[in-house]
Amino acid sequence: MNPILVVDDDLQMRTALKEAISRIGFQAVLSGDGQDALQKLHQAPFSLVVTDMKMPKLDGLSLLKEIRRRVGNVPILVITGFGTIQDAVEVMKEGASDYLLKPFSFEALMAKIRSLMERLHPEKDLITENSKMIRVLKIAEEVAPSDTSILIYGESGTGKEVLAGIIHKKSQRSHKNFVAINCAAIPDSLMESELFGHEKGAFTGATEKKIGKFEYAHHGTILLDEIGEMSLNLQAKLLRVLQEREITRVGGNLPIPIDIRVIATTNRDLYKEALEGRFREDLFYRLNVFPVQIPPLRERPEDISVLASHFLTRFSRNLGKDIQGFTDEAMGLLLERPWRGNVRELQNTIQRSVHLCRDRLIGLSDFLMESEPSPIPANGGKMKDLEKDMILKTLKEVQGNKTKAAKILGVSVRTVRNKLHEYGNFFPASSPD
């Protein structure tokens, strides 16, 4: 998997983001401005770009436009402290995959990056030895060839989107688009445009016509991920689309016929939500034609070791490592953990452990569990502590070589020297420079 490119003119924020990204199991390359970021994008592939909005030379919005014009369809997460709806419309209109408002917590950043990376590199199969999951897969295979609407229930991280992808691949629509939209990740004010598209001039910032997800999924499958998060107003519009099998772009007048298969997922009890007035009952019955329930990982303990080994093999290969397995103590910890984040939490844990492991077996010291992270402040003393820890840790990893450390951190050697002087911490004079 290619690394994530982090672009921010603030050294403290860059190092904090790098630390946060590494703690959820991904590699990060740092860049101090938009021009440098464009050079790096031309030199090597990246899975994702995380960029600040306010920067010298080339701001985040300009960088976004240049990436779309010169590099292509690289997913981009924009970080901004100016969180108006108009800002969101502007960055989303120019092709941003998502945005994050300052100040933000580690958990918020983690959720955004996870979501984007999982959509880029989804699992192709559900790995299981559990009888309940085997039954779920058999049912999915049987219903896949039809155009029946399916509602997949399950806790976050159980693999609902993966199952939806499997159903699409086994359907008669497999040669057409599979379009997923996360109903929890897009602001309500942007959702209608995302789903149905808009005409030029439909609202402030709509400088050109946009094709929506439903239109893009024509003849294919659309996945409405976490449908329970959709507002009642949009639920009414969605119901009409599903009934009439046609959409109208925002600001448009002409109906556009659509031929799609609908799969929805939820981590809620939608029947209860409908009874209590938080979800439209008529939409519930329109979606719930064929319900499928994915059990949480804690109810299928035999899958923990199987999945852990699968992820170990995959991430070891991606990182060019030869890790053979787990110590008995490490596997024991994996088997005892409740895994409230389900398969996603297990996957992230194994990915981080592969990054940290320096032996042929993963041990207890290689685990960094998700209950440990603390919020990342936008500024302040804690940020300086994080910056210091990151610089000193990097220097230790390269045996005090300031040039190598500077390259990894994305700063100049002079900056590293100045910071060490500031910390009152010097490596031996014999250390390479």
With a CB cutoff of 8 Å and minimum separation 6, the contacts of 191 are 183, 230, 231, 234
Q: For position 309, what pLDDT does the model report? A: 94
Q: Which residues contact 397 (CB under 8 A, 6 or more apart)?
A: none
CATH code linked to domain 312-364: 1.10.8.60
Question: Mind listing the pLDDT tens digit for each residue in 111-130?
Answer: 788 777 766 655 667 899 99
Residues comprising the chain, all counted:
433
pLDDT at 383: 47
Contact predicate 259/245, CB 8 Å:
yes
Q: In terms of CATH architecture, what is 4-120?
A: 3-Layer(aba) Sandwich (3.40)
DSSP symbol at 128:
-
Query: Which pLDDT tens digit goes with each residue over 346-401?
Result: 988 898 888 888 899 999 888 876 544 434 444 444 445 656 766 787 777 777 88
pLDDT at 371: 47
Q: 131-294 — its CATH code?
A: 3.40.50.300
Alpha helices in 170-231 (DSSP H): 188-196, 213-216
pLDDT at 410: 58
* Dihedral over alpha carbons 241, 247, 251, 253 (to 10 degrees): -110
CA gap 200, 213 in Å, rounded: 17
* Dihedral sign from CA coordinates of 156, 160, 162, 165: negative
pTM (predicted TM-score): 0.65
Kindly report the CATH class assigned to 381-423: mainly alpha
Helices 402-409 & 381-397 angle (0-180, nearest 10): 130
Which residues in the chain come in under a pLDDT of 70? 1, 82-89, 118-124, 369-387, 389-390, 407-411, 424-433
Distance CA 4, CA 41 (A): 11
Only one residue has tokens 């997922």, namely: 265
Residue environment code for 73-91, b if the CB has 16+ CB neighbours within 10 A, otherwise e: ebbbbbbbeeeeeebbbbb
Q: Residue 231: what pLDDT?
A: 93
Output the six-digit token pair for 211. 């094709």
Fold match between domain 131-294 and domain 312-364: no
Among 245, 192, 236, 238, smallest CA distance to 218 is for 245
Domain borders along the chain are: 4-120, 131-294, 312-364, 381-423
Question: What is the pLDDT, as a whole number, of residue 102?
Answer: 77
**What pLDDT score was predicted for residue 264?**
97
